[in-house]
Structures are given as C-alpha cells and as structure tokens.
A and B are shown apart, each in its own frame.
Chain A
C-alpha cells in the first residue's frame, strides 16, 4: 500500500510538472492582465509542491495511520479471478466506447450485458439473455422513442 501511495504521488507530480510546462507555453500575462496560462501555471506549481510533499511524507514513513489508505496491509489492486472480473468490465466498457456508433446501440448493449453479467457473478443464462434483451431493446425504446434522445443505429440500422 505504501508503495502504491508513493507511485500515485509520483504520478501526480509528473502530471503537474507536465501541466506546468504546457501552461508556460501559453501566455502568462497580456496587455489586459493575467493571460490564459496564468491560472493553470500557478496551480500546476502548487500541485507539484503538494505531490512532492506527499511522496516525501509517505517515504519517511511517519504517521501512516493518518495518511490516505491507512489499512497498510490491504492490497490495492485485486489479483486472480477478481482482477479478471474488473478487467472484463473495463474491457466491455472500452468495447462500447469503440463500437457503439459502428454497430449501433441495441447490438452493443446486448453484447455488453452478455459479457458483464457473468463477470459480475450472474450464472443463469436464460435470465442473462432476457436482461440483455431488456437492456438493449427496452432502454433504446425508453430513450429513443419516449424521451426522444437519439441513440446510434450503426451500420446495420438497428
């Protein structure tokens, strides 16, 4: 857990440093006063200082009980089957983001439910199939037909 905090703090420090560098390339001041880069540059420096202070503090090992994630023995990331389940959900969401407009809402939602439900522990395939149908057709009807919120039809027009 301590290593995870240090990595997170370091990532934050890198992000803030990059942000400061990008902000520097915008004008910090102009003829009317502070420029578009002024606020983000100042904030990036503050964020960088905070992140470095956090990493140093965790590195010294002092007062861990009051630092974020005080359960030092708890693993941050899951392993084994649990990790597989989390990755499956993330993968399914990624697939939706990539394929929604290509395949259309109904097909993608049905596939999404067929993948995610077993990952979340469902085992009855009849119920899973019914749920997938309801989620794709029912939600599409609710949003497209009733609420007039357009959802993608995809290349198959479904």
Chain B
C-alpha cells in the first residue's frame, strides 16, 4: 500500500468524532501550557499523560502530540503580550512581538504568528508524509550496531549543543544513562541497583523525573520570589494589514524551510531554528534596523520556523525512534507506556496507528488556527490569574500525575527528589535536557550495544566496520570535537575582552 493510500486511511480514522475531540482537547491543553510561563511543554505533556491512561493508544498519542505543537503556539501569546516567553522556543518572538503589542499591534502579531505557524506545521507534516516511508524502509535495514550508533549520535547532538560547558553536559548525559540502568537488566533479566525496593524493579520512572526536573524545579524557583504577580494584558485588532501580509509572506516561507530542516536533526532544540530564521530574515531585509522595533517579519519568521520544527521533529521519533528534545522524549515515553516502540518497525506493525497520528497533525494544525485567532483574548485573560494559584494548580496536577502512573506514592517521592535535584542544577546552569534524553534512550542503547557485542563475540570493531554505524559514530565524534572547539573559541574571546 503506498503512502497516499495509507495517509487517506489515516484521515478516515483521524476524522472520527472520537479522535477529533481528543485532538481538539490536546490543542486546547497544549495552548494553555504554552501560555503559562514557566511550565514548559516537556513538563506539561508529562503532567497530562495520566489523562490518557483510559484512552486507546491512537487517541492517547493524538492528544499528546496535539499538546506538543499546541504548546509551541501558546508560548507566542505571552511573548507578544507581556514579553515573557511561555516556552523556550518563543524567546525570539519577544524581540519584535512585544514591540508590536506596545504599538497597539499585538493582535496583528498574534494573527500572523497563528497563520505562519499553520503554514509551517502543514508543510512539515506534508514532508513527513513524503519522507516517512522511504526513511522507514532504510531504517529497517539497520541492525543493533546501527541503532546504537544512531542513538549515540542523537545523544551527542543534544549534549554538544547544551549549555556552556561540555564537561557538565557530558556528565549529565552519563548520569541519565546510569539512571536508566536501574531496574531489570534488559538482556539478562537480573535486577540492578534496586536495593530490595520493589518499586525500583520497573526502573526510575521517566515521567516523574521529567515532572520533577522541569515542573517542580521551576515552581521552586518561582517560590523564591515573594511577588504575587498579576499580569495586565491589552489587545486590539486581530488581523495584520495588507502591507504586513505582503512583508510576512517571504518570511513565513523561509522560516518554514529553516524550521523543517533543523527539525529533522535530533538534538537541535527548538530555540535554534527560531533564532536562525530571525537572523536570516534580518540579514535579508532591506530595513534591518526595523528588527527589534516591531518588524512583523521578526514575528512571522520565527513562529513559522517554530511550528515547522515541532512537526518535523516527529520524523526522527516516528521513523527512527530517536527523540530530538525532552518533549519528544516524553512523547516517546507515552508510546512506550502504551506498549509501542517508535521506529521503523512501528510503520510495519501498526501502520493504522502511525498514519492516523500523522493525519491528525494536519487536523491539529487547522484546529490551532481556528482556536487561536478568535480565542487569543481568552488566553490573555488566563495571564491575569495570580502566579501563586497557577503554580499551586500545577503542583496539584503534578502530584496526581505522578501518583496515577502506578498508584504509588513512590513516584511522588521520585518527582520530589528530582525536583530538588533539578532546582539546584538549574540554579547552577547545568543542562537538564541531556539527562532526560539519556534516561529514555539508555535501555535501548544498552540493549543494542550488548546485542551487537554478542553478534561479534565481544569485538567492538563491529561498530566501526559496518558503514552506516561507522558514519554515525564519526559524526558523533565530529559533533563533540566541534562543540569543544566552539566553546574554546567563546572562552578565548571572553578572555580577550576582559584583558
């Protein structure tokens, strides 16, 4: 059955009332998560996973994916209205979006962001449709050495691009990999590092760790401040003028392409495509001085890149089983909770689920456009709720989320411990993303490596003599070397400045 036929079958399933309701619910919840400053998409998606326990796998994944790309749009609202990015990828939108709001053009900024996001999302999903089957067929030829090398590449990309210290990022990666070793050995079935605690036989829960490190830690940082803030927001007309449309068209196209290609690469992170799209637009503009002062291209380009990136980053997850960011790693965790392993085999074993989810991306992007143009005033009003109540509400949902995973307070304790660890490490600027990705990929990496070594009788050269695996390992090494050189250059420049 070819891709088009599979996609049409997917649409037939995605457009059922049941799945439409869940896609809509996911879009609404995702936008809400994006609107709430501090609660990023990773923690927000993790917190909402328990809502999907009683759903079938298809509905659960549809809803969680909708939460993900909904959060990407939701972060724009706070960036424009109050100069506070709702999530990291919306940082760039603050530069011109907030200036537009101050000039009374906030509605136009949000309108062009919604349309740019829609175009970016639909394009990326279209390309996902085109690329999925050929890439999945290629990936089916991968053996354990290739999968190990691919996951190693994914982790090296995330580590190499994370933070200002490669040593710290690598240490965090190793920490995450070791956490993943707790529980039952995936090859021999022997318990490891459980110390007689029965709850640890299933390992350290990925979801409580993410909720702790990204959710609880953020709230602890918020708790340091005694401010009981209420944010005032004002909004006028919603749609851009004809001249603004004309100026935005090219920016949307370029931002979409930049976001899409960077979304295919694991480890790039959502901030990089948005910054690159913004910088590219500024360089191409005939009036670069307008950027930072309310240039509509400064909103259109990063927002298109953002949503294009969000949809494109589903390609490595669905096709290769490699998550490219903590939020995608949470989605991967959701797949695993539902008894599914993302990767090329999923296309072969569950094409109905995969193509329904892909079709739902199209549907979800339409829903986001419809939701966010007329409802932005509603989202803006949520920002008027005091942060104390928003934080308390988030903690309540974190507690319920952690408990409902296995009906055990042990997961609440795990969330608390990692909340404290995440709080301290955030204050010290240690990157947390490598730990989260390593935690989810660790068991797969170990199983692939050990199976590879069993195939070769313990000879590590199997990883270097197979062309695809050797290529991935060479790229991994290059990424780490380039990161080291990049950081050394930055340090040398800073030292020169201080002298």
Measuring CB to CB, which residues of chain A are less than 8 angstroms from any residue of chain B?
1, 4-5, 8-9, 12, 15-16, 19, 22, 26, 29-30, 32-40, 43-44, 46-47, 50-51, 53-54, 57, 63, 65-70, 76-78, 81-83, 85-86, 88-90, 93-94, 96-98, 100-101, 105, 109, 112-113, 116-117, 119-123, 127, 131, 135, 139, 143, 147-152
Instruction: Give A127 Cβ to nearest chain B Cβ, in Å.
Output: 8
User: Is B328 an interface residue when CB atoms closer than 8 A count as contact?
Assistant: no
- Sampled A-B contacts (19; CB under 8 Å): A4-B428, A36-B190, A39-B446, A50-B174, A67-B165, A77-B427, A82-B226, A88-B223, A89-B223, A89-B395, A90-B220, A90-B416, A93-B216, A97-B409, A120-B392, A121-B228, A121-B229, A131-B389, A139-B397
User: Is B234 an interface residue when CB atoms closer than 8 A count as contact?
Assistant: no
Residues of chain A contacted by B175 (CB below 8 angstroms): 12, 15, 47
- Chain A interface: which of B263-271, B375-383, B450-458, B465-473? B450-458
Residues of chain B contacted by A89 (CB below 8 angstroms): 219-220, 223, 395
Looking at chain A's contact residues, the main secondary structure is helix
Instruction: Give B144 Cβ to nearest chain A Cβ, in Å.
Output: 12
Extra inter-chain contacts (20) besides given A68-B164, A113-B392, CB under 8 Å: A4-B427, A15-B175, A33-B450, A33-B457, A39-B450, A54-B165, A66-B487, A76-B427, A76-B428, A77-B424, A82-B224, A85-B224, A85-B226, A86-B220, A100-B412, A112-B399, A121-B225, A143-B404, A147-B54, A151-B404
User: Is B490 an interface residue when CB atoms closer than 8 A count as contact?
Assistant: yes
A33 to B459, CA, bound (A): 10
A150 to B406, CA, bound (A): 10
Residues of chain B contacted by A22 (CB below 8 angstroms): 193
User: Is B125 an interface residue when CB atoms closer than 8 A count as contact?
Assistant: no
B428 engages A139 (CB within 8 Å): no
From 384 to 401 in chain B, residues with beta carbon under 8 angstroms from any chain A beta carbon are: 386-389, 391-393, 395-397, 399-400
Given the interface pairs A66-B165, A122-B228, the reply to whether A34 lies near B178 with Cβ below 8 Å is no
Residues of chain A contacted by B170 (CB below 8 angstroms): 50
Total A-B residue contacts, Cβ distance less than 8 Å: 214
User: Is B350 an interface residue when CB atoms closer than 8 A count as contact?
Assistant: no
Q: Which residue of A lies closest to B185 (CB)?
A: A36
Please, what's the 1-or-0 string for B462-499, where 1 marks a CB less than 8 Å from any CB in chain A?
A: 00000000000000000000000001001100110010
A16 to B178, CA, bound (A): 9
Size class of the B contact interface (CB-based, 8 Å): 35 or more
Leading 3 A-B pairs by shortest Cβ distance: A121-B228, A120-B388, A47-B174
Given the interface pairs A67-B164, A117-B388, A143-B50, the reply to whether A101 lies near B409 with Cβ below 8 Å is yes
A32 engages B454 (CB within 8 Å): yes
Please, what's the 1-or-0 string for B399-421, where 1 marks a CB less than 8 Å from any CB in chain A?
A: 11001100101001100100110
A78 to B400, CA, bound (A): 28
B453 engages A93 (CB within 8 Å): no
Q: A29, A43, A83, A122: which contacts B389 (Cβ < 8 A)? A: A122
B397 engages A38 (CB within 8 Å): no
Instruction: Give B441 Cβ to nearest chain A Cβ, in Å.
Output: 13
User: Is B429 an interface residue when CB atoms closer than 8 A count as contact?
Assistant: yes
Q: Which residue of A lies closest to B52 (CB)?
A: A147
Residues of chain B contacted by A109 (CB below 8 angstroms): 396, 399
B392 engages A96 (CB within 8 Å): no
Residues of chain B contacted by A147 (CB below 8 angstroms): 50-51, 53-54
Q: Which residue of B lies closest to A19 (CB)?
A: B178
Given the interface pairs A33-B457, A70-B429, A120-B387, the reply to whether A65 lies near B491 with Cβ below 8 Å is yes
A40 engages B181 (CB within 8 Å): yes
Given the interface pairs A4-B428, A69-B427, A96-B399, the reply to whether A131 lies near B188 with Cβ below 8 Å is no
A135 engages B392 (CB within 8 Å): yes
A28 to B391, CA, bound (A): 46
Residues of chain A contacted by B185 (CB below 8 angstroms): 36
Instruction: Give A116 Cβ to nearest chain B Cβ, in Å.
Output: 5
User: Is B285 an interface residue when CB atoms closer than 8 A count as contact?
Assistant: no
Given the interface pairs A54-B167, A69-B429, the reply to whether A121 lies near B420 with Cβ below 8 Å is no
A93 engages B389 (CB within 8 Å): no
From 194 to 223 in chain B, residues with beta carbon under 8 angstroms from any chain A beta carbon are: 216, 219-220, 222-223
User: Is B335 an interface residue when CB atoms closer than 8 A count as contact?
Assistant: no
A120 to B224, CA, bound (A): 8
Instruction: Give A36 Cβ to nearest chain B Cβ, in Å.
Output: 4
B164 engages A66 (CB within 8 Å): yes
User: Is B163 an interface residue when CB atoms closer than 8 A count as contact?
Assistant: yes
